[in-house]
């Protein structure tokens, strides 16, 4: 894993798994380089965390400014049998990251899910629409300021539903 140092990006270790902290504007480019040069040929997972009311200190290496949202990308190298995790800080006022669709088409549904649940936009995504919630849903359910069980039930096409 020492050759990852060539990126000159902060690297940390989380329970034996290497974590690379990527600035968001370079995300797609780095994932492509990891795929072509380092053999991380599969993008297993794309998800996000909303660190709004995180109580512990954010355990980030030096040089990484904590932001409210974090995109977590899990890559897999089938040849080396290793995993690599990328963590990308995304600020609240401009919640957008480049889409990985052009590098790994399999991220399409995962990115739509993150958009649906967190409202983080993926630029250049071919079809950035809600995937699990109804198309006309208001709000982003997995954000920490979205309370559970305290919203009126939203029904499609029925006016004055509560």
Partner 1 sequence: MNVDLDNDTSEGAQELQPRKGMKAEELLRELGCVLRMSEADAADLGARDPGDDETMIINMGPQHPSTHGVLRLMLELDGEIVLRTKPIIGYLHTGMEKTGEDLTFLQGPTNVTRMDYASPLFNELVFSMATEKLLGIEEEIPPRAQWIRMLMTEMNRIASHVLFLATNGMDIGAIGMMLYGWREREEVLRFFEKVTGLRMNHNYIRPGGVAADLPDGWRDDVLQVLDPLPERLDEFDLLMTGQPIWRERLQGVGLITAREAIALGATGPILRSTGVPWDLRREMPYLYYDQLEFDVVVGTYGDTFDRYAIRLNEIRESIRIVHQILDKVPSGDYRIQDKKVTPPPRARIDESMEALIHHFKIFTEGFKVPEGEVYVAIESPRGELGCYLASDGRAKPYRMHVRGPSFVNLQTLPHMMRGGFLADGVAVISSVDPIMGEVDR
Q: Name the site residues for partner 1 (rule: CB under 8 A).
A: 14-15, 17, 41-45, 47, 49-50, 54-57, 59, 72, 74, 78, 81, 83, 85, 102-110, 113, 117, 126-127, 129-135, 141-142, 146, 148
Neighbours of 140 (CB within 10 A): 19
- Residue closer to partner 1 by CB (options 24, 103) is 103
- Residue closer to partner 1 by CB (options 9, 102) is 102
Least distance to partner 1, CB of residue 88, Å: 13
- Residue closer to partner 1 by CB (options 24, 84) is 84
What residues pair up with 162 in beta bridges, in sequence order?
A: none
Helices (H), ranges, 46-156: 108-118
Least distance to partner 1, CB of residue 86, Å: 11
The structure tokens listed for 17 are 């798994």
The structure tokens listed for 73 are 């990308």
| H or E segment and range at residue 117 | helix 108-118
- Residue closer to partner 1 by CB (options 25, 127) is 127
Helix (H, G, I), strand (E, B) or coil at 76: strand
134: left (phi over 0), alpha (psi -120 to 50) or beta: beta
Least distance to partner 1, CB of residue 65, Å: 18
Least distance to partner 1, CB of residue 160, Å: 22
């Amino acid at each position: 894993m020492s050759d990852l140092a060539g990126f000159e990006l902060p690297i940390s270790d989380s329970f034996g798994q290497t974590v690379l902290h990527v600035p968001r504007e370079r995300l797609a480019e780095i994932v492509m380089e990891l795929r072509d040069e380092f053999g991380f040929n599969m993008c297993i997972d794309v998800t996000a965390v909303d660190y709004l009311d995180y109580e512990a200190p954010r355990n980030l290496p030096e040089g990484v400014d904590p932001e409210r949202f974090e995109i977590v990308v899990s890559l897999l190298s089938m040849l080396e049998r290793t995993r690599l995790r990328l963590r990308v800080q995304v600020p609240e006022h401009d919640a957008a990251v480049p889409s990985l669709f052009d590098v790994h088409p399999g991220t399409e549904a995962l990115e739509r899910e993150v958009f649906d649940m967190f409202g983080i936009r993926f630029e250049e995504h071919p079809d950035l629409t809600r995937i699990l919630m109804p198309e006309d849903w208001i709000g982003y359910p997995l954000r920490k300021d979205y309370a559970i069980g305290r919203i009126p039930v939203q029904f499609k096409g029925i006016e004055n539903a509560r």
